[in-house]
Amino acid sequence: MNKYNAEQDIKFIREVLNKTQRDISGIGMIFIWIGIVNLVGEILKNLGYVFMNIQKEISGFQWKMLRSIDSISFIIICAIFVMYFGKLFRDGNDISKSILKIWGVLLIGGRIFTKLFVNLTLTKQTGVTVEFATTLEKAFSFLCVIIALTVLGIMVHDKLICGGALFGIIIYCLLLNFGQAFMIAQIHGNSVNMYSYDIFSIFILSFGMILLGLYTRISGRKKSGNS
């Protein structure tokens, strides 16, 4: 009887692990879409700066369109989360749901908090520059991704993901200390600069998310198939 119960427990654990791996493989598509949305948004935004750089006159509508790119990207990411979470809520187990909730809180909740904190607190009360506020937003976004990445690696027992998160922190800190500025455009005498740590943050939030999505999908299928 004890041997039978032990075999049943092992079978149940394997089924849970297989289901979790299949769910995480599906979550990988969320990471891929988030990376694509962030990448397209950054490309459009920088192309907008370059386009304005060669114009003699810039209308208010053009500025509004350029400044709305981040908001549009964020809305699309929220829609992606809602769509996939609804699907996972019906079919997923508690572990995969918890992973997606953590990512949702950090990516969506973290970005909302950062936007409110920077715009309502720092910019108005201390009068920091727009350039510094933008850099701070990207730094917080990067930190949220690193935290979510670390939690994901711990929950699925993946050393590569945990190691990648640690390596990302080290690279970002080094770039913060020795960061180089690059001028993207000069509009009406005002330089639009991007620092090396900003570029690295954009890389993580776009290409990094795409690579994470591909890795989790491939890894999830392999582990599920081997179990």
pLDDT given for residue 64 in this prediction: 81
**The pTM is what?**
0.81
Contact 26, 158 (CB under 8 A): no
Q: Kindly report which listed range (14-18, 77-81, 116-120, 190-194) carries the lowest average pLDDT score.
A: 14-18
CA dihedral 139, 145, 150, 152 (to 10 degrees): 170
Neighbouring-strand partners of residue 162: none
Domain ranges within the chain, ordered by starting residue: 2-226
89-99 pLDDT per residue, tens: 776 667 777 88
209-224 pLDDT per residue, tens: 999 888 888 876 665 5
| Mean predicted lDDT score pLDDT of the chain | 78
How many angstroms from the chain centroid is the CA of residue 117? Answer: 19
133-178 pLDDT per residue, tens: 777 777 888 888 899 888 888 877 788 888 989 999 999 988 888 7
CA angle centred on 71, ends 27 and 161, rounded to 5°: 30
Contact 213, 35 (CB under 8 A): yes
Sign of CA pseudo-dihedral 98, 32, 80, 78: positive
